[in-house]
Amino acid sequence: MSSASSTPPWNVRRLPRADGSVFLVTGANAGIGYFVAEQLSATGATVVLGSRDPAKADVAMASIRARVAGARVRAVRLDLADLSSLRPVVETLGVDRLDAVVHNAGVALDDPPRRETGDGHELMFGTNHLGHFALTARLMPLLSAAPAARVVTVGSFAAKSERLDLDDLQSGNDYRPKRSYGRSKLAQMYFGFELDRRLRAVGSRVASVVVHPGGALDSLTPSRPPIQVRTAGARLSAAPAALLVQGKHAGAWPAVRAVLDPAVDGGQLWGPRVFGLRGEPRRERVWNHLADVSVAARLWDKSRDLTGVDPGDLPGPSEGHVPRTFL
């Protein structure tokens, strides 16, 4: 396998081949998740669209097949707001290994009232963070079976200005929808970094990478009817915003690079090049508050207690362990 130093410069429009690989993308029937799946499908990999709505997943698969010749795409039902539904996910996938999972799915509420999942968790925290936390635990046997799997967690630029309240993770005392969303994405990002620390501690070849899409607007996103429709008027009115932000197709680039690029390593943060808001993906310095390992460890313990599973519950390195390499 070629080393990172011998690979050509990264080009978002000329992705490396990944024939034989299997990638799962949560929330892949719309938005950034759709474009992550569409772009990954152009590499020759099998891309599994995780969606809680089979009909919408069918539409997304048809769209990808219409744009990517020979695309190997299929769907699996995933409802991250229902933790019990995640138990059979390994059998449902029907594969012997998983080369990457992109934790993209998410719920964003703009207005009260506060809502809960069927498990009694605040909807955004329960879906965006706890759902992916539990899903990772279920998928770890498949990820560990791959030569060099990656867990890619899609955070948000909105999390940069937030801080977790470890005594009120589920906004039971003070619910503000936009803040609760930002904190749920911040929890996801803490999880991604803490997961990599725990994987490294046991010598795992699985790597955990955190990314964020910057500013990604529907009005700057190419049309993919009926999934995404951009009118001429919307395109014109959004033109000034393109100086600062981008469409969701470009918001997908950091996650796609985190899956495919041999230069990406676990424990890193990747986002858009220009002010963290737009442009091609680059590695960023980990935000100061995300580097607080004590907060990450306490969040992990609370998440384990709330879900009843532990993604880091892995055996130690086996004798003759081979250092992990990358796709």
Catalytic residues: 181
Characterize the bridge pairing of strands 269-274 and 278-284: antiparallel
Report the alpha-carbon distance of residue 283 to residue 185 in Å, rounded: 19
- The answer to whether 104 and 32 are in contact (CB under 8 A) is yes
Which residue matches tokens 């955004």?
124
Q: Is the peptide bond before 113 cis (omega within 30 degrees of 0)?
A: yes
Question: What are the residues whose beta carbons fall under 8 Å from the beta carbon of 45, sequence distance 6 or more?
Answer: 18, 19, 20, 21, 22, 23, 72, 99
DSSP-assigned letters across all residues of 221-283: SPPBTTTB---HHHHHHHGGGGGT-EEHHHHTHHHHHHHH-TT--TT-EEEEEETTTEEEEEE
| Distance, CA of 285 to chain centre | 19
Tokens of 128: 């965006």
Q: Which residues of 258-296 are buried (b: 16+ CB within 10 A; e: fewer)?
A: bbbbbebbbbbbbbbbbebbbbebebbeebebbebeebb
